[in-house]
């Protein structure tokens, strides 16, 4: 290339770079600005001016990819949403429902209270309970939360509420107290019902609240336990926790699994690292295993923030 032509080429390149830099600068000035808003909302530009959207909705645009229909990870202490996907969409909560059942039993019943299982409690899917079985409340809660025993949950609900409809009223009142806006319970165990639903965000709210009770933390942290029945005398049930992350995820405090054909895979799980506790929830996972891997992915993402 001739010397003069080379100088002309370099001059053109320099002018092009300056123009590109100017365009980038003005594009940055024109870019939408996301700013904090009141009441857990974010202020974002809309077609007719700034709009306020829920933090969970604003968080949907970034973070880890998950195949679960809904998911969220929050700071258990502050409630800060670190990632959310469809977090306010109604889903079947399946056995994550039992977190609320456990909370109410811990707050309203005595640990040594004797619970006699009814025929109604024995007549549900996935239970080791038989009509007439007598178990201490503390043991019944351990059986319910470790192996996700549906009959145990029904027995707890009947003991605390008198019957399931009244217990469901207590559950819904407590949910409202905790700020749950997309939740309605009709049973104590999470069996499918069109009027029994929740959201990932609400499940995170319930779990975060429950973690404040050391008794709840102790129950969800049980890897395996033997349950000794009062009647029939001598009966012992060995219960192993269904939450795989309890023994595989560093810092895992515990959680609650859920699975029905309607709900698919569900999991609410808490973990603590460096003094910080996070809660992750996934709902309607593709299969049994992905609920664990994707909840772990959400926790990893949260702790990296």
Active site includes 148?
A: yes
Active site includes 98?
A: yes
pLDDT, residue 53, reads 41
What pTM does this model have?
A: 0.81
Active site includes 89?
A: no
pLDDT, residue 217, reads 98
Number of domains in the chain: 1
Would residue 171 count as lying in a domain? yes
Would residue 202 count as lying in a domain? yes
Q: Which is catalytic among the residues 3, 6, 7, 98?
A: 98
pLDDT tens across the length of the chain (305 residues): 433 333 343 334 344 444 444 433 333 333 333 334 444 444 433 333 343 444 444 444 478 999 999 999 999 999 999 999 999 999 999 999 999 999 999 999 999 999 999 999 999 999 999 999 999 999 999 999 999 999 999 999 999 999 999 999 999 999 999 999 999 999 999 999 999 999 999 999 999 999 999 999 999 999 999 999 999 999 999 999 999 999 999 999 999 999 999 999 999 999 999 999 999 999 999 888 999 999 999 999 999 99
Would residue 18 count as lying in a domain? no
CA distance 28 to 8: 31
| CB of 265 closer than 8 Å to CB of 287 | yes
Q: Which is catalytic among the residues 3, 67, 89, 95?
A: 95
pLDDT, residue 5, reads 35
Would residue 55 count as lying in a domain? no
pLDDT, residue 50, reads 40
pLDDT, residue 30, reads 39
Q: CATH code at 216?
A: 3.40.710.10
Domain that holds residue 101: 68-304
Would residue 179 count as lying in a domain? yes
3-state secondary structure string across 236-299: EEEEECCCCHHHHCCCEEEEEEEEECCCEEEEEEEEEECCEEEEEEEEEECCCCHHHHHHHHHH
What are the b/e assignments for 281-303, b being 16+ CB within 10 Å?
Answer: bbbbbeeeebbbebbbbbbebbb
CA distance 8 to 30: 33
Would residue 22 count as lying in a domain? no
Would residue 36 count as lying in a domain? no
Q: Which is catalytic among the residues 6, 12, 138, 148?
A: 148
Would residue 261 count as lying in a domain? yes
């Amino acid at each position: 290339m001739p010397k003069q032509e080379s100088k002309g080429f370099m001059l053109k390149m320099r002018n092009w770079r300056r123009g590109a830099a100017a365009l980038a600068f003005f594009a940055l000035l024109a870019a939408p600005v996301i700013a904090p808003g009141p009441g857990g909302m974010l202020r974002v530009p809309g077609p007719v001016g700034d709009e306020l959207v829920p933090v969970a909705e604003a968080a949907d645009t970034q973070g880890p990819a998950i195949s679960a229909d809904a998911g969220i990870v929050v700071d258990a202490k502050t409630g800060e949403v670190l990632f959310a996907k469809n977090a306010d969409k109604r889903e079947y909560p399946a056995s994550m429902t039992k977190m609320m059942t456990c909370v109410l039993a811990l707050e309203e019943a005595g640990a040594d209270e004797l619970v006699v299982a009814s025929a109604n409690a024995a007549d549900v899917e996935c239970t080791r309970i038989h009509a007439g079985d007598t178990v201490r409340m503390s043991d019944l809660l351990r059986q319910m939360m470790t192996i996700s025993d549906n009959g145990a949950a029904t027995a707890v609900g009947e003991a605390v509420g008198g019957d399931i409809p009244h217990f469901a009223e207590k559950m819904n009142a407590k949910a409202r107290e905790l700020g749950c806006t997309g939740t309605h319970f009709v049973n104590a165990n999470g069996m499918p019902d069109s009027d029994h639903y929740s959201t990932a965000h609400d499940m995170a709210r319930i779990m975060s609240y429950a973690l404040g009770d050391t008794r709840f933390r102790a129950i969800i942290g049980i890897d395996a336990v033997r349950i000794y029945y009062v009647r029939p005398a001598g009966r012992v049930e060995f219960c192993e926790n269904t939450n795989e992350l309890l023994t595989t995820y560093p810092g895992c405090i515990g959680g609650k699994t859920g699975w029905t054909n309607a709900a698919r895979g569900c999991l609410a799980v808490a973990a603590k690292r460096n003094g910080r506790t996070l809660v992750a929830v996934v709902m309607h996972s593709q299969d049994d295993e992905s609920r664990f891997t994707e909840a772990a992915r959400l926790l990893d993402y949260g702790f990296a923030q």
